[in-house]
Amino acid sequence: MADRRYETLVLIHPEQGEPGSKELAARIRTLIEEQGGTVSQVQEWGFRDLAFLVTKQRRAFYVLFEYRATPKALQEIERNLTLMDPVLRFISVRQAENAPPAALRPARRPEREEMEFEEGGDVDLVSEGESS
Amino acid sequence: MARERTSSRPPRRRGMGRRKVCRFCADKTMVIDYKDARTLGTFLSERGKIIPARITGTCSRHQRRLTVAVKQARTVALLPYTTAYP
């Protein structure tokens, strides 16, 4: 079966912390390889603020995987990702064969200071999103 | 960035008035990528809604791709669905 070029962006629960997230990223990498995929790039974006709350979290550790795999393998990879509890969300996108490899970390906002938040109803309506 | 808009809204666009151009056609190096929330954000309203091509001047081909990219970005929380939550 012909293999295809995919990329998967995974959001890891902030509870894992940086070391835990990296470990999980390594695990996902082996998962892809176990399925016969060849990973060409793993990009750790680090912690990023989410545009909205996901399972009550406001940040997540983003990791991007670029690899080649068969459609069957992708299915299996995705199935396994849904089973991983610390994975908040992920998205897999097929890449064009001739597309350049993902540039290192597309435009990232400067690290925002960790702020104290009260519980509930504290989402800042004004300073929303990435729109500039 | 998404300037185009304000300056080019003539009352009657017959004859004169600046024709809006698709930003992706004008700049071939610009790619539509769901990971690039910065760029995509310029095609969203303050409320997080996708601005119609009629206003931004994006051509239909690129608008279609843009829409897909915005939706992909939303699933991974790079862009908001809306800002109207509590």
Beta strands of A15-84 (E only): which ranges?
A: 38-54, 57-69
Give, as one character, the DSSP assignment of residue A12: E
pTM over 0.80: no
Tokens at A130, concatenated: 């990435």
End-to-end Cα, chain A, rounded Å: 44
Cα separation of B8 and A1, whole Å? 52
Q: Which one of A6, A10, A130, A132 would you mutate to disrupt binding with B, by most B Cβ within 10 Å of its Cβ? A: A130
What lies within 8 Å, CB to CB, of A58 at 6+ separation is: A49, A50, A117
Give, as one character, the DSSP assignment of residue A93: E
What's the mean pLDDT when you consider all of chain A? 81
Tokens at A7, concatenated: 């990329």
Task: Give tens-digit pLDDT for A8-57.
Answer: 999 999 998 889 999 999 999 999 999 999 999 999 998 999 998 899 98
Cα separation of A33 and A46, whole Å? 22
- Asked whether the beta carbons of residue A129 and residue B81 sit closer than 8 angstroms, the reply is no
What's the mean pLDDT when you consider all of chain B? 82
Please state which of the four CATH numbers 3.30.365.10, 3.40.50.300, 3.40.50.2000, 4.10.640.10 is assigned to the domain occupying B27-75: 4.10.640.10
How many CB atoms sit inside 10 A of residue A97's CB?
8
Residue B65: pLDDT band (50, 70, 90) is: very high
Element (H, E) at A62: strand A57-69
Can you give the pLDDT at residue A125? 44
Q: Does A77 touch chain B (CB under 8 A)?
A: no
- Asked whether the beta carbons of residue B35 and residue A123 sit closer than 8 angstroms, the reply is no
What residues of B are in contact with residue A62 (Cβ under 8 Å)?
A: 76
What residues of B are in contact with residue A52 (Cβ under 8 Å)?
A: 77, 80-81, 85
Residue A120: pLDDT band (50, 70, 90) is: very low
Kindly list the domain boundaries of chain B, sorted by start residue: 27-75
Tokens at B69, concatenated: 């990219």
* Mean pLDDT (whole number) for A72-83: 93
Task: Give tens-digit pLDDT for B11-40.
Answer: 555 666 677 788 888 888 888 899 988 889
Instruction: Name the 3-class secondary structure at A92.
Output: strand
Q: Are B44 and B79 in contact (CB under 8 A)?
A: yes
**Residue A48: burial class (beta carbons within 10 Å; 0-12, 13-18, 19+):** buried
At residue A115, does pLDDT exceed 90? no
Q: Give the closest-approach CA distance of A106 to chain B in angstroms.
A: 6
- Asked whether the beta carbons of residue A132 and residue B48 sit closer than 8 angstroms, the reply is no
* Mean pLDDT (whole number) for B53-78: 93
Beginning with the edge strand found earlier in the chain, give each strand of the sheet holding A57-69 in spatial order: A38-54, A57-69, A4-12, A87-94
Q: How far is CA B66 from the centre of its chain?
A: 7
Can you give the pLDDT at residue A122? 42
What residues of A are in contact with residue B44 (Cβ under 8 Å)?
A: 129, 131
At residue A113, does pLDDT exceed 50? no
Q: Does B49 touch chain A (CB under 8 A)?
A: no
What lies within 8 Å, CB to CB, of B25 at 6+ separation is: B59, B62
Can you give the pLDDT at residue A72? 93
At residue B84, does pLDDT exceed 70? no
Can you give the pLDDT at residue B6? 55
Can you give the pLDDT at residue A94? 93
Can you give the pLDDT at residue A102? 73
Can you give the pLDDT at residue B29? 84
* Mean pLDDT (whole number) for A53-69: 92
Q: Does B74 touch chain A (CB under 8 A)?
A: yes
Q: Does B79 touch chain A (CB under 8 A)?
A: yes
Tokens at A23, concatenated: 């470990």
- Asked whether the beta carbons of residue A51 and residue B44 sit closer than 8 angstroms, the reply is no
In order of start, what are the domains of chain A with their CATH numbers? 4-94 (3.30.70.60)
